[in-house]
Amino acid sequence: MCAILFMLVLPEDLVDTRGNEIYRVLYIIDGDTIQVNTDQGRKTVRLLGIDTPEVKGPYTDEECYGRESSSRAKELMIGQNVKLKKDKLNEDKDKYDRLLRYVYLSDNTFVNELLVKEGYAFLYPWFPFEFYEQFKVHEDKAREEKLGLWSEECEYND
């Protein structure tokens, strides 16, 4: 009896049946910005609808809960294949040429939403987006429960 082993090799970027882009996460810049590998090279993606506290960088000082937000993003996404979904109400890219996307894990966990729900991210209210009301409910609950960046450790609740 002879066994044959098949290995499925997938290209770095794919499109699922709903037209969502699928890419491997290579690097976490901070809690709301990642880099993915595409056949055109690395692309930077800004997670839509959320904002996370800054980490220390060349242009930013560290903010309360910045490291924790970045760590959670790494825990969720680094090395994972993720689905990137465009928003009907937004541009494709921002002024920094970053792709503006919703991010979903392979198990369909909605990363943008989860980060708000767990208190790692703020709702980003400065422009309209599809999930605004949903994210607002999660932020209000996280704030009420003093989760993550809403804890007494940080002063965002004032």
Structure tokens at 28: 């976490």
Catalytic pick among 24, 46, 72, 101: 46
The strand ranges marked E within the chain are 14-15, 21-30, 33-38, 41-47, 50-51, 81-85, 99-104, 122-123
d(CA 65, CA 98): 23
> Cα 136 to chain center, whole Å?
17
d(CA 104, CA 21): 10
Q: Is 98 a catalytic residue?
A: yes
Cβ pair 135, 128 in contact under 8 A:
no
Nearest alpha-carbon partner for 12 in 25, 27, 2? 25
Task: Report how far apart, in Å, the C-alpha atoms of 65 and of each of 68, 121, 127, 132 are.
Answer: 5, 9, 24, 22
Catalytic pick among 21, 54, 68, 139: 54
Catalytic pick among 12, 63, 67, 98: 98
Active site residues: 46, 54, 98
